[in-house]
């Protein structure tokens, strides 16, 4: 996956809701990725059930770890990001300058979760 090859510690992850004109739900700082180790008899990492990943069937093989999660669900930040892929690279097509917006988010919002 292109994302896992290019992401590095400290990158910002923007969580965008589908079918909403690209509403930003949250932003967090990338820490690391970890390959999941689950087997039929023994699991060395958390199972789908333990992680609460039970609403959709899927074979998710990688955990993305992040810190400093800011909840933006009530901010109405519409990025106009659209498309079937859940992971995207930032481009000038985004209607919001996310780098500038992040500085304001950090300044005025509290961290929702930190590792």
Nearest to 51 by CA among 30, 68, 32, 65: 65
Cα–Cα distance between 114 and 107 in angstroms, integer?
Answer: 16
Q: Classify 49 as helix, strand or coil.
A: helix
Domain ranges within the chain, ordered by starting residue: 2-108
pLDDT of residue 112: 65
Q: What is the mean pLDDT of residues 38-65?
A: 80
- The answer to whether residue 115 scores a pLDDT higher than 60 is no
For the residues of 79-101, what is the DSSP string, one character each?
A: ----SS-S-----TTSSS-HHHH
pLDDT of residue 46: 81
pLDDT tens figures, 20-40: 888 999 999 999 998 888 777
Least confident of 27-36, 50-59, 98-107: 50-59
């Amino acid at each position: 996956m292109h994302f896992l090859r290019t992401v590095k510690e400290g990158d910002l992850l923007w969580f965008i809701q589908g079918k909403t004109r690209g509403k930003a739900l949250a932003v967090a700082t990338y820490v690391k990725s970890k390959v999941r180790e689950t087997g039929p008899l023994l699991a060395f990492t958390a199972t789908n059930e333990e992680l609460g990943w039970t609403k959709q069937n899927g074979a998710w093989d990688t955990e993305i770890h992040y810190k400093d999660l800011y909840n933006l669900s009530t901010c109405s930040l519409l990025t106009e990001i659209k498309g079937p892929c859940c992971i995207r690279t930032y481009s000038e097509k985004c209607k919001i300058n996310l780098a500038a917006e992040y500085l304001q988010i950090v300044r005025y919002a509290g961290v929702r979760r930190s590792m």
